[in-house]
Amino acid sequence: MRLILTADLHYDHANSRESADSIITEINQAGCDVLVVIGDAAASAGDAMERCLSRFTHPGPKLFVPGNHELWTTEPDSYALLLVQLPARVRSLGWHWLQDEPFIADDVGIVGTIGWYDYSFAQPALGIPRRFYERKVSPGAAAYFKEYRDLLDPSDDVPAEAMEIVARWNDGRFVKLHRSDEHFLDELLGMLRGQLQRVSASKTQTIVAATHHLPFRELLPPSHSAQWDFTKAYLGSEKLGQLLLEFPKVKHLFCGHSHFAAQAQIGRISAVNIGSGYRQKAFQTLLLE
């Protein structure tokens, strides 16, 4: 079985669309048995997601996992998007909604989840208190944006260096879950556990996991600046990786989200971050004998 996997096409961004069209053309020409898109095709507003997914001409199974950008909305409820609206939109295009239902063919099973974050990848050296991560702003940004200044009272637990970090994670503005990030992650992990149990109980010999967020810190980008290090808290969760390692048939993991290509061997799992970004796109090919 030949799989092609890609992620982070960001078709709703004007500066990203040309490179997305180019990589989609390349994927169409390459051909495969199963195609997997691992999140952030486009934000939910408008029809950019549909236009993106419709450009793929692969006649066989096409599997889709949502990313955090699919949950971005000006409407009041991202949770309903994930449970109801997005699955219907994706399935209407002839794609398999991998978030809810694993894909099994021959002796290969493919499971998927958007994944999420619980700040377990936050960088302790920054010294930023947890309340800032929960509101998705750095201390310097909290001082700049008046709606976050309550985070600075008290301020005696905020290092002076942290006040120089000005960064904001836009999930805080555009994702409305009506529950904590940790609660949401735990719900998603429960869904993924159900998929893994189902596939593990079948005759499959190999499980491929597709997660938008990172499950292993070994796939994190290298340190670049304090601003970028602040955002690592939102790239994934150790819990996600721990769950995958519980199931012996999981041999491969592919993810996206960070826009940084990386590979690591985590026990028996070959882990790959595809590395697509806004301007440069990428895909991975996996041949399973």
User: What are the per-10-residue average pLDDT scores of the chain (289 residues)?
Assistant: 98 95 98 98 96 98 98 96 98 98 96 98 97 98 96 95 97 97 98 98 97 98 95 98 98 98 98 96 96
Asked if 183 contacts 83 with a C-beta cutoff of 8 angstroms, the reply is no
What pLDDT is stored for residue 224 in this prediction? 86
What pLDDT is stored for residue 106 in this prediction? 87
C-alpha to C-alpha distance for 187 and 28, rounded to whole angstroms = 35
What does each C-alpha distance from 94 to 11, 44, 59, 210 come to in angstroms? 19, 18, 10, 19
Among 283, 271, 272, which Cα is nearest to 58's?
Answer: 283
C-alpha to C-alpha distance for 122 and 124, rounded to whole angstroms = 6
Among 118, 115, 163, which Cα is nearest to 137's?
Answer: 163
What pLDDT is stored for residue 193 in this prediction? 98
What pLDDT is stored for residue 213 in this prediction? 98
Q: What is the value of pTM for the model shown? A: 0.97
* Mode of pairing for the β-strands spanning 206-211 and 250-255: parallel
What pLDDT is stored for residue 250 in this prediction? 98
Burial code of 230-248, b = ≥16 C-beta within 10 A, e = fewer?
bbbbbbbbebbbebbbebe
What pLDDT is stored for residue 235 in this prediction? 98
Asked if 72 contacts 170 with a C-beta cutoff of 8 angstroms, the reply is yes
Q: 106 CB contacts (<8 Å, ≥6 apart)?
A: 1
Provide the terminal-to-terminal Cα distance of the chain, rounded to the nearest Å.
Answer: 6
Burial code of 136-162, b = ≥16 C-beta within 10 A, e = fewer?
bbbbbbbbeeeebeebeeeeeebeeeb
